[in-house]
Every structure is written in C-alpha cells, then in structure tokens.
Amino acid sequence: MNTHKIAVIAGDGIGPEVIAEGVKVLNEAARIDGGFNFEFTYFPWGCEYYKETGRMMAEGGIDELRKYDAIFLGAVGAPGVPDHISLWDLLLVIRKSFDQYINLRPVKLLRGAPTPLKDTPREDIDMVFVRENTEGEYAGSGSWLYKGKPNEVVIQNGVFSRMGCERVIRYAYELAKSQGKTLTSISKANALNYSMVFWDQIFEEVGREYPEVKTYSYLVDAASMFMVKDPGRFEVVVTSNLFGDILTDLGAAIAGGMGLAAGANLNPERKFPSMFEPIHGSAPDIAGQGKANPLATVWSASQLLDFFGHEEWGAKLLDCIEEVLAQGKALTPDLGGTATTSQVGDAIINKMNNK
Ligand code: NAD
Ligand code: IPM
Ligand code: MN
C-alpha cells in the first residue's frame, strides 16, 4: 500500500474546523481508490499551545515534521498573541526551514462561484500565482534600534538572492511552458531600485531559455488594477513574496472569496516536506460557529493529491467542489448559504461517491 504520512497542524480559530473536512475528504479519496492511504498525525501547535508553553511549536518541532511526507495546515493566529510571533514561529519557520520556495496559488473562478466583477466572463478569471515563498520582503532581516527613545529607528530589509529569484522564476517558466500559457512577472522596479531591477533582469535572463513562452511584465500597482479591470490578461504569474501575498487576497476576492482560495507551499526537489493550506487566516470573527467555508482547504487537499501523483483524484476533487458550488444547496454563509462547515464537507463526499 502506498501510504502518505501527513503531519496535521490544524492551528487556531477556524483552522481545526476546515482541516477536519480536508482530512475527511482525503480519507474518502483513499477509501474509494483503494490504491493509497493516509496516516495523519496531529500536532496541537498554535496559539493555545503558546499560551500554555510559551512556544508556538514543541522544541525540535521542525526535526519532527521533517519525518513526514507533507504537512496539512489550517490557520495560525489568535487574539492575545502578537501576529508576528505566532506566524514567524510556526507558519513562516516551516516555509523557510523546508525551503518551500514555491507558493502555488490558483485564482480560478469555478462554475457556480460568485465574483463581484460584472460582465467578466468566467473563463477570464483563470490564473495561477507562483509566489516566491522564502525570502524577499519576508527575509526577516532588519533591526529595531533605540527602542522607545526619541531617535528610535526600524529597518526591514528585502533580501533577493540570485539563486532565490532564479529558481522561482525558472519554475514559473517551466509551468507556463508545460501548459502552453503566457507568463506575467509582477514587480516594481521604478521605485525599488535594487531588488526589483534585479528581479526584472533575472526574469529576462531566464526567459532567454524559454523563447516559446510569451511574457508580460507589469508594475504591481498597474497589475492590481488589471486584475480587476481585465483579469483575462493573466495566466501564469510570478511575483515576490509580499506582492504575491497581497495579490492573492485580491485574487480570492475576484474568484469567490477567501473561503475558496487554496495554496501549496512546495519544495519541488522533495528534499523536505511540502505544506498544503488554505490561504485564509484563522478568521476569529467566525471561529467556533460552524460558519467557515472548508472549500479552500478541500482545494488544497486536491493540490496535495496532485503533488503525490494522484492527479486523477486532484481533478476529481476540483470537479466535486464545482458541482457543490453550481448546485448551490450546501453553501456556507460567505457564499450566501446556510450550511455548516461539515455539511459542505459531507456534500463533497456525496459528490465523490457519484463519480
Ligand atoms: P482572515 O483570512 O482570517 O479573515 C479575513 C476575512 O475573511 C474575515 O472576515 C473572515 O471571516 C473571512 N474568512 C476567511 N476565511 C474564511 C472561510 N474559510 N470561510 C468564510 N470566511 C472566511 O484574515 P485576518 O482577519 O486578516 O487574520 C486573522 C488572523 O489570521 C490573524 O492572526 C492573521 O495573522 C492570521 N492569518 C493567518 C494565515 C495563515 O495561517 N495562513 C493567513 C492569513 C492571516
Ligand atoms: C498567507 C498569510 C501569511 C503570509 C501570513 C499569515 C504570514 O497572509 O499565507 O497569505 O503573509 O504569507
Ligand atoms: Mn495572505
């Protein structure tokens, strides 16, 4: 039996609620298929753990996670724990330690999903973001000097290494080439006169190896405008860590909302485990009420299946999400329905059994 060992970090807020549905759906795929199965190991890490122990994850947590084939994460962050601590000591340390330098975030308007963009054909909202995920604006380089003094000063450096830029840009070119899609780079070289000039240069350099890929390059401000006014321009998109973070929330907004936005943090070499998670946060405003939409997590589960070579199941899950959306009977309040988180999971399971 082909067993996939998955470390589950359900985390905070709605994290455990949506992860329960993701696990349910993955187990059902394995049950129906019969050719593979999952072994889930739960880690109780997150803000509650922090309040009890002063740590976001156990000591040696990274070494523990290294033993797994993948990580399935819900969300991290809770009132009472500073966000920069909860995120740096759990989510970001995992992305960095396991060199998950590709953050793959589809922005695709599924059949039945709502968009606030009037007069935009559904097919025009179909792109995938390749976000740099280990350095750039998130390098964590800087300092805080003379704290609390009149001459207080903070410095937050962007760190763009040649290796870091080349590998994410090359990955995006390969993806665009393999899918026969265009590739758009989003940067900001007019203002960020070192980092983004360098990024643009590398985009061009690597591009010489891919004459068959048609490319575009936009400044991030204009790109934000085009994502709303003319999203059909974008197919495969490559961008830096911070720009990718912001633009994929915008992407979520045009493609059904945060409840439908999925992401995969990949270490393409498979030297370390990759991590699959919805891109939304812990949503403290709706936590514990059964209102969270689990479909982003189910979509991330579909990315996990793809990554393990079960592409047929990855595609089937996406079909099931689309069918549930199009049917409109089992939808959470963010999509205008009254169903609970677990009823949406059940609806997916039901569709899986009718395939
Ligand atoms: P958020 O994504 O948690 O919530 C933004 C809005 O979207 C809220 O109104 C929320 O109710 C809604 N929403 C999000 N996911 C939803 C879902 N599945 N179904 C229905 N509605 C959903 O962002 P925020 O409020 O800025 O952050 C809350 C906390 O989460 C903070 O502590 C933040 O640092 C953290 N955060 C964590 C992650 C992560 O773990 N990957 C990502 C983003 C934010
Ligand atoms: C995301 C989140 C994280 C990020 C935060 C919580 C550190 O917003 O995954 O989009 O900025 O990468
Ligand atoms: Mn984000």
Question: What are the two backbone dihedrals, phi and then psi, of residue 23, each rounded to the nearest 5 degrees?
Answer: -65, -40
Please list the pLDDT of the chain residue by residue as tens digits (355 residues). 899 999 999 999 999 999 999 999 999 999 999 999 999 999 999 999 999 999 999 999 999 999 999 999 999 999 999 999 999 999 999 999 999 999 999 999 999 999 999 999 999 999 999 999 999 999 999 999 999 999 999 999 999 999 999 999 999 999 999 999 999 999 999 999 999 999 999 999 999 999 999 999 999 999 999 999 999 999 999 999 999 999 999 999 999 999 999 999 999 999 999 999 999 999 999 999 999 999 999 999 999 999 999 999 999 999 999 999 999 999 999 999 999 999 999 999 999 999 8
For residue 105, tell me if it sits in a domain: no
For residue 286, tell me if it sits in a domain: yes
Q: Are residues 92 and 120 in the same domain?
A: no
pLDDT at 1: 84
How many helices (H) and strands (E) in the chain? 12, 12
Here the tokens at position 337 are 């329905």
Angle at the Cα of 346 (from 342 to 349), degrees rounded to 5? 140
**C-alpha to C-alpha distance for 124 and 230, rounded to whole angstroms:** 8
Q: Name the burial class of residue 208, with classes exposed (0-12), middle (13-18) and buried (19+) by CB atoms within 10 angstroms of its CB.
A: exposed
Q: Are residues 354 and 316 in the same domain?
A: yes
Distance 31 CA to ligand 3 centre (A): 33
pLDDT tens digits for 261-293? 999 999 999 999 999 999 999 999 999 999 999
Q: Are residues 138 and 178 in the same domain?
A: yes
Q: Are residues 223 and 277 in the same domain?
A: no
pLDDT at 355: 82
Question: What are the two backbone dihedrals, phi and then psi, of residue 55, each rounded to the nearest 5 degrees?
Answer: -130, 145
User: For ligand 1, is residue 283 a contact (CB within 6 Å)?
Assistant: yes
Distance 211 CA to ligand 2 centre (A): 34
Here the tokens at position 153 are 């000063």
User: In the 8-state DSSP scheme, what is residue 87?
Assistant: I
Q: Are residues 274 and 305 in the same domain?
A: yes
Distance 283 CA to ligand 1 centre (A): 4
Q: Are residues 140 and 236 in the same domain?
A: yes
Which of residues 211, 238, 255 is at a domain's end? Answer: 255
User: In the 8-state DSSP scheme, what is residue 349?
Assistant: H
Q: Are residues 169 and 153 in the same domain?
A: yes
pLDDT tens digits for 63-104? 999 999 999 999 999 999 999 999 999 999 999 999 999 999
**C-alpha to C-alpha distance for 141 and 158, rounded to whole angstroms:** 7
Out of 84, 138, 280, 335, mutate this one to test ligand 1's pocket (max ligand atoms within 8 Å of CB): namely 280
For residue 107, tell me if it sits in a domain: no
Q: Are residues 119 and 236 in the same domain?
A: yes
User: In the 8-state DSSP scheme, what is residue 247?
Assistant: H
Q: Are residues 12 and 88 in the same domain?
A: yes
For residue 110, tell me if it sits in a domain: no
**What CATH code is carried by the domain that includes residue 10?**
3.40.718.10
Helix axes 15-33, 341-352, angle to 10 degrees: 10
Full residue range of the structural domain in which residue 214 is found: 115-255
Which of residues 255, 273, 295 is at a domain's end? Answer: 255
Q: Are residues 208 and 279 in the same domain?
A: no
Q: What is the pTM (predicted TM-score) of this model? A: 0.98
Q: Are residues 91 and 182 in the same domain?
A: no
Core vs surface per residue 229-247: b (16+ CB within 10 A) or e: eebebbbbbbbbbebbbeb
Alpha helices, DSSP H only, in 145-292?
A: 162-179, 195-207, 220-229, 241-254
> Of 274, 272, 277, 345, which Cα lies nearest the Cα of 73?
277
Ligand showing the shortest atom-to-Cα distance for residue 95: 2
> Of 82, 43, 103, 80, which Cα lies nearest the Cα of 240?
103
Alpha helices, DSSP H only, in 13-126?
A: 15-33, 47-53, 61-65, 83-86, 92-97
pLDDT at 230: 98
Ligand showing the shortest atom-to-Cα distance for residue 83: 1
Q: Are residues 137 and 228 in the same domain?
A: yes
Query: How many separate domains does the chain show?
Result: 2
User: For ligand 1, is residue 77 a contact (CB within 6 Å)?
Assistant: yes
Which of residues 239, 255, 271 is at a domain's end? Answer: 255
For residue 122, tell me if it sits in a domain: yes
**Closest residue by CA, ligand 2 atom 1:** 279
**C-alpha to C-alpha distance for 17 and 11, rounded to whole angstroms:** 10
Cross-strand pairs, 133: none
172 neighbors 236 (Cβ within 8 angstroms): yes
